Amino acid sequence: MPLDLLVSGRIATFAGARGFGWVEAVGITDGRVAFAGSAVDLESRADPFTRRIELDPDEVAVPGLTDAHLHLADGGLATDHVDLSQNPSLADGLARIGEAHGRLPAGAWLLGHGWNVDRWGGWPTAEDLGRVAPDRPAALWAHDHHALWASAPALAMAGVDARTADPDGGLIRRDDRGEPTGILQESAARLVMDRVPPPDPERFIELLARLARELVRLGVVAVHDPGGLALQEGLGGGIAAYQALDERGDLPLRVHASIREEQLDTAIAMELRSGDPLGPPGGRARFGWLKLFADGTLGSRTAALLDPIEPEEGKRLPPGTERGIWLTPPERVAELALRAAAAGIATQVHAIGDRATRSSLDAITPTAGKAALMPRLEHVQLLHPDDRLRFAREGVAASIQPIHVRADAAAARLLWGERAETRGYPMRSLLDAGAVLVFGTDAPVEPIDPWPGLSMAVTRVDGSWPAGSAPFGPDERLTLDQAFRAATVSPAITAGEPDRGRLVPGQRADLIVIPTEAVTNPVEPGGALATARPRIVLIDGEIAFEA
């Protein structure tokens, strides 16, 4: 069989259960790996028409990365909105909002994301927005997308006032007089977001495609998109955008696109099953999971906990939320997951607190093996030791975003106390217990760059922390190959793709060329792994990006 492409140098195949599995060369035919072994053996199989990529001595090749939790559709849309993630204070954020207000036509919504209650030292208010964007309907998500900061005009358009009751699974923050402050948490955010006009479909598709191309440049060849806020009637939103791009042949990477609870009836009526193509046969867009939410988040103080949250000095939580809140009651999660499984649809559940993780395992364990994709829990930021063995035993994957440790370490120590480091972000203990562990970025909650997250998984320290900072939960550090497997081999397992994630014969030839320093121990916080950038990215054996 003639070789289309020959890649020679130091190449990680991830053959076997441990280590990188280094070889000298890989041969590619018809978009798949045809040979992996010695350079001499491979040269004997080449002919004058075989293309060649020779790695420099300071380069290695590894399988392309999969981001197993990235809101690609929402991330694309967010690039058109105000980004407050780099604003260190409320005053600084308000200045940026004021600038954006001045550029918008009268009556247009001001949309944004990225503010952080811990960084800003308190919750912003509608009154704050009124000082810089008077008479403007505005809605700005917190960095975790579980709290919405709304202006007075936006609240008025949504009919939210002192008489408005908290919706199920949601909180309206109020002042001492019972008036809404402008912060809507969890499901309460929909009161305002349902009033925001939908994006222009073509602009939406353009932004999504642009962000997808940027991901390819970073070495990401596949994404699991857990659905998002860009919901429209039926399946709509991101699903429709992926279908359109795939039909045009313009989707640069592979995508598994999930749905939310309100879309389940439509998916069942269409007889969609997890793993089915969304576009043309052989395309890159596939149907993913049903995404449900058990609890809230650490940052919004709404993660469901077995033990009460640690009290913050001088601050109080809304009554009844000391152990977080249920966004979806456990019995409802179980009901929906079983209904989806009966239709061949796998379920992924957002579960951050240890109480949410335990209840979600109870709910989705009966669905394991009933769909082409694995059931999975998303985030697993706090896990009781009694539940560690359950993931492997019950066939549920653990989807963790190690980059959250960078932003959350201080808040986790503050709110969860000693248990934060003994039970928090349990990557190594889950792997040691035999779980399938997959990594993502959770963009746009965090930046789309996957490399700082891989570094964090190995070091549990970030270069942005003060010099001399101790690792957060050092016993949970991974080896380099374990971290890479969580971003290559394991996501393919969860997505029912046995022909992806490794560079061995028969596998799809998804390969990236990166600096050797990125896989050299010891790995320094903020060093070569955290800042890696591919020189070449292959998808199906074709060059998708070359620096």
- Full DSSP string of 274-339: TT-BSSSTT-SEEEEEEEEE-B--TTTT----SSPPPPPTT--PPTT-TT--BSS-HHHHHHHHHH
DSSP 105: P
| Backbone phi, psi, residue 457, to 5° | -65, -30
Could you tell me if 86 and 512 are in contact, meaning their C-beta atoms sit under 8 angstroms apart?
Answer: no
Residues 237-259 as b or e (16 or more Cβ within 10 Å = b): bbbbbbbbbbeeeebbbbbbbbb
> What pLDDT shows up at residue 169?
86
- Residues of the chain whose pLDDT is less than 50? 231
> What pLDDT shows up at residue 314?
60
Q: At what angle do helices 451-459 and 404-416 cross, to 10 degrees?
A: 50
* % pLDDT > 90, the chain: 77
Could you tell me if 459 and 525 are in contact, meaning their C-beta atoms sit under 8 angstroms apart?
Answer: yes
E strand segments, 119-178? 138-142, 147-150, 170-174
29: helix, strand or coil: strand
With 0.85 as the threshold, say if the pTM is over it. Answer: yes
DSSP 87: -
Q: Which residue in 297, 422, 407, 389 sits closest to 352, CA to CA?
A: 297
> What pLDDT shows up at residue 73?
86
Q: Where are the domains of the chain?
A: 5-62+504-546, 81-193
| CATH homologous superfamily, domain 5-62+504-546 | Urease, subunit C, domain 1 (2.30.40.10)
> What pLDDT shows up at residue 520?
87
* CA angle (340 as vertex; 358, 252 as ends), nearest 5: 95
> What pLDDT shows up at residue 146?
87
Q: Which residue in 219, 230, 260 sits closest to 73, CA to CA?
A: 230
Q: Which residue in 47, 43, 38, 63 sits closest to 2, CA to CA?
A: 47
Distance CA(187)–CA(329), nearest Å, equals: 13
Question: Topology of domain 81-193, per CATH?
Answer: Diaminopimelate Epimerase; Chain A, domain 1 (3.10.310)
Distance CA(380)–CA(437), nearest Å, equals: 11
> What pLDDT shows up at residue 318?
65
Continuous segment of H or E residues that includes residue 93: helix 90-103
